[in-house]
Chains A and B, each alone.
Chain A
Amino acid sequence: AQSVAQPEDQVNVAEGNPLTVKCTYSVSGNPYLFWYVQYPNRGLQFLLKYITGDNLVKGSYGFEAEFNKSQTSFHLKKPSALVSDSALYFCAGRSNNAGNMLTFGGGTRLMVKP
């Protein structure tokens, strides 16, 4: 069985400060990991992914994530938060074995205050 956990329901950060949204995973084999963002009344939008290679992955809107195999984590980061980053963030993962579907974490609401 595979699972993805986002331990924080909400993260609050001041505009201009760095932000981190946490994600840990449990999948068999080599993991494929993704971050998505959801704005109100919209579908999920892809931010970035880790498949293989460099552990630091850069994505859209200045976001990046670091794959840490020993800690089974894939935390999302941004050096300087914007108010417009306020949204719901989902981490997702799957095994590279055929037939596995993507499993989503429970989501973390990011609130960036001016």
Chain B
Amino acid sequence: DTAVSQTPKYLVTQMGNDKSIKCEQNLGHDTMYWYKQDSKKFLKIMFSYNNKELIINETVPNRFSPKSPDKAHLNLHINSLELGDSAVYFCASSQDLTGNQPQHFGDGTRLSIL
């Protein structure tokens, strides 16, 4: 049973296109996150949602729009893709916002912009 699953695993597309990445967790967690890992493996938080409500938006361009239809899902839609968007995007979840519980990560979506 995969705890945090992301689809697709790989995404190759042209500059200017719009794409979505889906994330689902079956852990019953309240809080979900999106992270971006660049080519140097540096990991940066993008968004945090708690019970479907946006908590954190870390100065991410508004071309990136997260959507949480329920607390088990947090999808990421990206408009007008740019070369600099090429990265690995990780979804994660944690029990709640207290921060004393570990985050559980999906295996990532590798986005390549041509």
Contacts and interface: CB of A to CB of B under 8 A. Distances in A.
Contacts of B90: 43-44
A101 B43 contact: no
Between B43, B45, B97, the greatest number of chain A beta carbons within 10 A of the residue's beta carbon is seen for: B43
A99 B98 CA distance: 8
A104 B99 CA distance: 13
Interface residues on B, range: 20 to 34
Interface in A81-107: 88, 90, 94, 96, 98-102, 104, 106-107
Interface stretch (A45-53, A62-70, A71-79): A45-53
A6 to B, nearest CB: 11
Contact of B45 (A41, A49, A88, A102): A102
Interface residues on A, range: 20 to 34
Interface of A: 32, 34, 36, 38, 41-46, 49, 51, 88, 90, 94, 96, 98-102, 104, 106-107
Given A44-B90, A106-B41, 16 more contacts: A42-B107, A43-B90, A43-B105, A43-B107, A44-B92, A44-B103, A44-B105, A49-B100, A94-B99, A96-B100, A100-B99, A101-B45, A101-B48, A101-B56, A102-B103, A107-B41
